Structure formats: structure tokens, C-alpha cells
Structure 1
Amino acid sequence: MNDETLAKMTAEIAEVLRTHIPGAELVTLRSEIAASKSKTFAQIFGFTPGARGVFTISSELTHPPPTPSKLNLRCTTTK
């Protein structure tokens, strides 16, 4: 896995989430990617025209990448 794959996977997850939100045609996606010597961060924001946040997805890739047995996947939602 590399930085481009991380960004692409994060964008694909965001697009799937967007299609399941009522009024999905109004949800805009914006992405940001930042890299340091040891990590790459990708974040996607989903928001509506009124600047109301709908969701955010954050992902992180360490350098060197972890082995598959040490991957950590979490999903956090607000109540």
C-alpha cells in the first residue's frame, strides 16, 4: 500500500457513504492529504451547501506500512 492507494481507498469509502445519505446529491466531498516522514494522513469531509458537516473519514498510513495482521480499523459514529 502506498500514499496514492490510501487516498483512493478513503475517497471510495466516502463516495459509498454519500450515496446512502438522504439528499446525497447535495453532499459535497472535499479531501486533504498530508505527509510526514513517518506517516501519511488522508481526510475526506462530506458537507452540505449550508456548511453543515455530514461526515468525515480519516485514515493514516505509517511508513513502513504495517503488516496485514497489525492493521487497525475503527468506525466511530456520534449518538
Structure 2
Amino acid sequence: DVDWAVAISGIAGPMNDEGMKSVGTVCIAVANRIRSVTRQREFSGDRSSNKRFFTCMALEMILEAWEDTEEE
């Protein structure tokens, strides 16, 4: 039983998945017991930068979801 969940799936680089998605593509989901939010973005950095971007994006989404929950 969990209160919050976060999922990150993407292609940080240096290679893509044989043409299906570009390096830097990420899908992130944040969910609590009330709702879930998903977003997809593309970044253009190297592997290390993309991983940082992915993490920062996930943390921003968690904070936004937390603030929305506090307002209810």
C-alpha cells in the first residue's frame, strides 16, 4: 500500500531504440490515491544531462501534485 508513486521511462542516450524514439525522450508519471499525471518531453543533452533533466522533471511533477493535493 503506497501513498505516492513515480515512474520514469526514457532514452537517456547515447543510442536510441533503433529509430522508434529519439535520444532524450522521457515519459514520467506521478500518482497518488486520488489522481495520476503523465507527461512526455524531449531533451537534447548528452546521457548525463538527460538523466538530470529527467530527474528534475519528475521532482517538479511531484511538487506540483503535492501542492494540488494540499489545496483540496
Provide TM-score, normalisation by structure 2: 0.34
Relative to its length, the structure with more helix (as a share) is 2
